[in-house]
Amino acid sequence: MAAPIHHPNPHHAKPKEPEGLVHLLNLPNFLTLCRLGSVPIFLTLLSRSHYTAALYIFGAAAITDGLDGAAARWFDARTELGAFLDPFADKVMLVSAFIVLTLNGTFPGYVLSVVAIRDLVVVAGYMMLSFFTSERIPVRPTFIGKLSTCLQALCIIAALAKIGVPLPRYLNAMLYITVTATAISGVQYIYQGLQWLYSREPEMFT
């Protein structure tokens, strides 16, 4: 007599690991998380006036910012999580640096005001668009937005490298250019947000 065939019991099958988890924990996202985790170290060094060490941490964070984007393109590992975390990590690092450097008198207050207001408007606008349309909006920085981020980083690097000596005159010119680019990018994001909202909810504009 033939042996009975035993079918595997699906209730005893080994649970499968969520496929999305491995996809999200890739190299670019890991680098972004490392950059985000370096913020407390950077702020601690900055608050204790260890400017050279803070400069090294900031420089390393800037390098990982370039590496995670290159790795995402090279390995085709772009994710929505990475698209959100990357600019978030940048903003946390930059805004916190501007706050400390403004409080210690290195930067004038208007620079922090423009940077903070632009970021608050962008974040609040994103949340409002998501609320009104009930959609998850893709995060895609514009060229001017990327340029303003780069200029902000250069201003911080220049300031950290020169703290303790008279700040060079070109730093003031850099600050003016940075503030202008930051303000323009804010207006651009607002315009794009309104365009996106109009394409989804045109009755709100009538």
Tens of pLDDT along the chain (206 residues) come to: 444 544 455 444 444 444 454 455 667 778 788 888 999 999 999 988 899 999 999 999 888 877 766 665 665 656 666 666 777 888 899 999 999 999 988 899 999 999 999 999 988 888 888 887 777 776 677 899 889 999 999 999 999 988 766 667 788 889 999 999 999 999 999 998 888 888 877 777 76
Number of structural domains (the chain) is 1
Q: Which two tokens stand for residue 19?
A: 């496929």
Q: Does 14 reside within a domain? A: no
Range of the domain at 110: 25-201
* Predicted structure pTM score: 0.77
Q: Is residue 20 part of a domain?
A: no
CATH number at residue 105: 1.20.120.1760
Tell whether 11 is covered by a domain.
Answer: no
Other Cβ atoms within 10 Å of 30 Cβ, number: 14
C-alpha dihedral over 118, 119, 124, 127, to 10 degrees?
Answer: 130
